[in-house]
Amino acid sequence: MLARVLGHYADRVVGVTIAVTGGYVVPVEGSPIEGGTVLFDNGKIVAVGSSHDVEIPDDAEVVDASGSWVLPGFVEAHGHLGVHEEAEGWAGQDTNEMTDPVTAKVKALDAINPADEAFRDALSGGVTTVVIKPGSGNVIGGQTVAVKTWGRTVDEMLLRDPVSMKSALGENPKRVYGDKKVMPSTRLGVAAVIREALTGAQDYKARKEHAAAEGKPFDRDLTNEALVKVLDGELPWCQHAHRADDIATALRLADEFGYKLVLNHGTEAHLLADLIVERDVPVVIGPLFTTRVKVELRQRTLRNPGILARAGARIAITTDHPVVPINFLVHQVTLAVKEGLDAETGLRSITVNPAEMMGIGDRVGVLKPGMDADVVIWSGDPLDVMSRATKVFVNGVEVYAFNENTGLGETKDPFYRG
């Protein structure tokens, strides 16, 4: 377990200017900079460039990153931190509201526990932003949220809510409701539940618009209100799908209803790469460090990301934490690169790509002026398994540091202790 550093939440430095200097700066968008400087103030990046091009204010705190790599914080596109807590059993399991196959009205936001150990693990792996999602037990699982990986309450960690709508095809929902002897117990039923819910949302929208035109009152329904946001293109539809036939169903349903589809998991997506690229559907791939524990995982391969990327697909890589520990996110990329994924694309798959897929690319994923100051200093190339995150800044605040003397990571305690 990571060691904690004593401190008060109120002691967080606001408005302090920090210059990270002398490192090999990898902005992700743009060429790397030898001996570069990243300057940030009041939680935002204000300059990125060579030491000759960035003027450092006299009152700035200087962090020497010589011999190190400097990157934006990693972005996890699909995780369950805080809703599926580690070592908590039933008490910390809030991933699925498996009492109704359609729970579009529920929000992951309301179940996140910032005290979950996973958030400290995330920082040790350079992950500063996570899109947290309900699970795949339901056909329509609910609304996802993007948060930073450090803070006292989810409200203080919040980046955007909601981010997308979670839905599941394949084995999980048919197993859950098949065991209950209710619909859906087959893939036929799962697709029908989605069609019924979205058709109902279309009718709801028409009735609401008619009532507004007539100046009449209208009783709102939280499930349909959320699904209308999907139909209007406000929320992407994050579709859990592993097998090629389920991916084909996901594409078919998206064609039918016209929503923004983001494939999640995509274990057999490489078998349909041309169809995915033709529709410009992004794929969040993973988890990759698993055994083939289900029939729909039989085609799992670390070659999947490289095949899809070479075909022209937009990809992100996920741990699906806690399936794979969140701090192993970058290690999955390393092995995908070993199996044919281009290294530059690999870094994009855990930075700018997931940020853009999830609609938070205006805040995180790259190092450039105006972005949140989520900056990570690495001892070397993060794709080298021997490298480690040595300092992590979230919103311009140093929240994690590796202590060479103890060999432990130390996380700034966000909670007020009195």
Confidence at 14, pLDDT banded by 50, 70, 90:
low
Query: Phi-psi category of 325—alpha, beta or left, where left has phi over 0 and alpha has psi -120 to 50?
Result: beta
Say which residue the tokens 């839905």 belong to. 167
Please choose, from the candidates 140, 141, 158, the residue with its C-alpha nearest in 3D space to the C-alpha of residue 149: 158
Positions of E strands within 352-415: 375-378, 389-394, 397-403, 408-412
Q: Give the CATH number for residue 373.
A: 2.30.40.10
Q: Residue 113: its pLDDT value, please?
A: 96
Q: In this structure, are residues 195 and 253 in contact, taking their beta carbons and an 8 Å threshold?
A: yes
Q: Does residue 194 belong to any structural domain of this protein?
A: yes
Q: How far apart are CA 306 and CA 162, in angstroms?
A: 30
Q: In this structure, are residues 20 and 396 in contact, taking their beta carbons and an 8 Å threshold?
A: no
Q: DSSP characters for 231-259?
A: HTTSS-EEEEE-SHHHHHHHHHHHHHH--
Of 12-26, 38-52, 279-293, which range is least confident? 12-26
198 and 155 part of one domain: yes
Domain span at 336: 74-357
Confidence at 92, pLDDT banded by 50, 70, 90:
confident
Confidence at 93, pLDDT banded by 50, 70, 90:
confident
Q: Does residue 363 belong to any structural domain of this protein?
A: no
> Across residues 99-114, what is the average pLDDT?
96
Q: Residue 157: its pLDDT value, please?
A: 97
86 and 34 part of one domain: no
Q: Does residue 299 belong to any structural domain of this protein?
A: yes
Q: Does residue 417 belong to any structural domain of this protein?
A: no
31 and 140 part of one domain: no
pLDDT greater than 70 at residue 13: no
Confidence at 2, pLDDT banded by 50, 70, 90:
very low
27 and 152 part of one domain: no
310 and 384 part of one domain: no
pLDDT greater than 70 at residue 242: yes
Q: In this structure, are residues 133 and 194 in contact, taking their beta carbons and an 8 Å threshold?
A: no
Residue 7: C-alpha distances to residues 61, 89, 125, 159, 414 (Å): 19, 29, 22, 24, 8
pLDDT-above-70 percentage for the chain: 96
Say which residue the tokens 């036939």 belong to. 245
Q: How far apart are CA 247 and CA 168, in angstroms?
A: 11
Q: Count the alpha carbons within 13 Å of 117 in the hemisphere toward its beta carbon.
A: 11
> Across residues 391-409, what is the average pLDDT?
94
Within a 10 A sphere around the Cβ of 252, how many other Cβ atoms? Answer: 11
Query: Phi-psi category of 12—alpha, beta or left, where left has phi over 0 and alpha has psi -120 to 50?
Result: beta
Q: Residue 417: its pLDDT value, please?
A: 67
DSSP element (H, E) containing 166: strand 165-168
Token pair recorded at residue 202: 């279309």
Q: Would the CA dihedral through 113, 166, 264, 180 be positive or negative? A: positive
Q: Does residue 362 belong to any structural domain of this protein?
A: no
279 and 205 part of one domain: yes
Q: Give the CATH number for residue 237.
A: 3.20.20.140
Q: Residue 118: its pLDDT value, please?
A: 97
Alpha-helical segments (H) within 289-394: 304-311, 329-338, 343-348, 352-357
Q: Residue 3: its pLDDT value, please?
A: 39
Q: How far apart are CA 141 and CA 82, in angstroms?
A: 16
> Across residues 133-137, what is the average pLDDT?
96
pLDDT greater than 80 at residue 8: no
Q: Does residue 12 belong to any structural domain of this protein?
A: yes
Q: Please provide the average confidence, as pLDDT, over all residues in the chain.
A: 94
> Across residues 151-164, what is the average pLDDT?
97
pLDDT greater than 60 at residue 32: yes
Q: Residue 11: its pLDDT value, please?
A: 44
| CB contact set of 156 (below 8 Å; sequence gap of 6+) | 414
- The number of domains in the chain is 2
pLDDT one-digit tens code per residue, 161-209: 999 999 999 999 999 999 999 999 999 999 999 999 999 999 999 999 9
pLDDT one-digit tens code per residue, 38-56: 999 999 999 999 988 999 9
Q: Residue 15: its pLDDT value, please?
A: 56
186 and 170 part of one domain: yes
Q: How far apart are CA 347 and CA 317, in angstroms?
A: 10
pLDDT greater than 60 at residue 84: yes
331 and 375 part of one domain: no
Token pair recorded at residue 324: 């794979």
Q: Does residue 364 belong to any structural domain of this protein?
A: no
pLDDT greater than 50 at residue 6: no
Residue 189: C-alpha distances to residues 101, 186, 194, 293 (Å): 11, 5, 9, 23
86 and 148 part of one domain: yes
163 and 242 part of one domain: yes
157 and 210 part of one domain: yes
Q: C-alpha 337: how far from its chain's center?
A: 20
Q: Residue 86: its pLDDT value, please?
A: 83
pLDDT greater than 70 at residue 78: yes
Q: Does residue 212 belong to any structural domain of this protein?
A: yes
Domain C-terminal end among 357, 382, 403: 357
Q: C-alpha 394: how far from its chain's center?
A: 16
Between 311 and 86, residue with greater pLDDT: 311
pLDDT greater than 60 at residue 252: yes
46 and 188 part of one domain: no
